[in-house]
Amino acid sequence: MTFLTDKEELKPGLVIFRRGDVQHRNWYCRVKLPKSDRYKTISLKTADVSSARDRAYDHDADLRFRIKHDVPIFNHSFSQIAKEYVDLQKRRAATGQVSDARWRKCESVIRARLDLYVGSTQIHLIGQDRWDDYPTWRRETSKGRLREQVSDATIRFEMSIFRAVMGLALKKRYIRAEQLFQGRPTLAKMRRDAFSPEEYRKLHTVGRSWVKASIRPSSTWYRTVAYNFVLIMCNTGMRPSEAKNLRWRDVSIRKDREGRDVAVLSVTGKGKARGLVAPASVAEYIDRIRTIAKAKEPDDRVFTTHTGEPAKSLYKNMIEDLLTEAELRQGPSGIPRSTYSFRHTYATFRLSEGIDVYFLAEQMGCQIACNRDPLFASNRDPSEALGFGLSM
């Protein structure tokens, strides 16, 4: 190498030298790794040749100790290894092993979260304590809209990438095996606060005036749909994912054993399909939406945008605005309510009415697997078993 000057071999595999491409006169050493063609170059931080020789021998001894005791030889920051991980995922995406969205999501999480947390830290110094503390740090630094707390699912996904980067470091022998994180993320369960009967009545009352207060046609359309969406969710216990997939052909009106009208919905979410029974008022709420919908064919989605496209956010901003208007955005636990709170409201009200837990679980698609028609699944009438006292 032409930039090496004053080169001196102290012993086979150990050389000290100066660099001709820098302004200072400090010495460096280059140590050859035993049984390998790799070298480690170290700045000795001294211009004195005697001191440089002593420090070079010290580094040689340190390197051999590290090899003997399986201690990482090269120092790398977390962000450097994370970049290697992203590059690897990008190459895998190019060959169809993972989706293109996967590597982009990994890159986003690393850049926006993990690099802030441990990016500049040498990877061999990252221990179990940093893994255990991540959920707390993540929630403390969350800057979501209206300070909404980050979900457990989001934290778990980010920590899976955290662990994957450390796994790559282990494969490359940048860390020891015992440094790989142990255990699953410890997360305090986030409460999704339901609405009390008084709060639900207030939401219903404020919702009507909230719709009427709109001054633009597009705003009136979205407020009308969002308001009826809230009523539908509170009276069915649907998951948000099931609501997204609901189509006009999935809704029908049938008679129970007493000859009363009930709404039967075929819903799909979380990779499963099921049926649920709801009061006839739910069909009325759905009809209100259909009256102003731009897409009304059987295969069109019930919940859409003003232009008829499937609603991806399920009117998140509108519902936050409604809850804020009704002073119900924050639940008793201090966590902002979300669309999932409507599902919990349904369950809470049904249980408070003494509804059979089996029927409720079947209705909500929880735990008990059942492929039977919910309207005729047992000798007991579902409309009787489930109540329906929530509609207004």
Report residue 247 as tokens. 């189509």
Q: What angle do CA 308, 311, 317 make, to 5 degrees?
A: 120
**For the purposes of burial, counting CB atoms within 10 Å of the CB of 10, is it exposed (0-12), middle (13-18) or buried (19 or more)?**
middle
- Distance (Å, whole) CA 377 – CA 273: 15
Written as tens digits, the pLDDT of the chain (392 aa) is 557 889 999 999 999 999 888 889 999 999 988 777 778 888 899 999 999 999 999 988 888 887 776 666 667 889 999 999 999 999 999 999 988 888 999 999 999 999 999 998 888 888 888 998 998 898 888 754 444 567 777 888 999 999 999 999 888 878 878 778 887 766 655 566 889 999 999 999 999 999 999 999 999 999 999 999 999 999 998 988 899 999 999 999 888 788 888 889 999 887 788 888 888 889 899 999 999 999 999 999 999 999 999 998 899 999 999 999 999 998 887 778 888 889 889 988 888 888 777 777 777 877 544 444 444 344 444 444 444 445 55
- In angstroms, the CA 173 to CA 166 distance is 10
Among the listed residues 190, 295, 309, the one whose alpha carbon sits nearest the alpha carbon of residue 244: 309
Whether this prediction's pTM lies above 0.75 is answered by: no
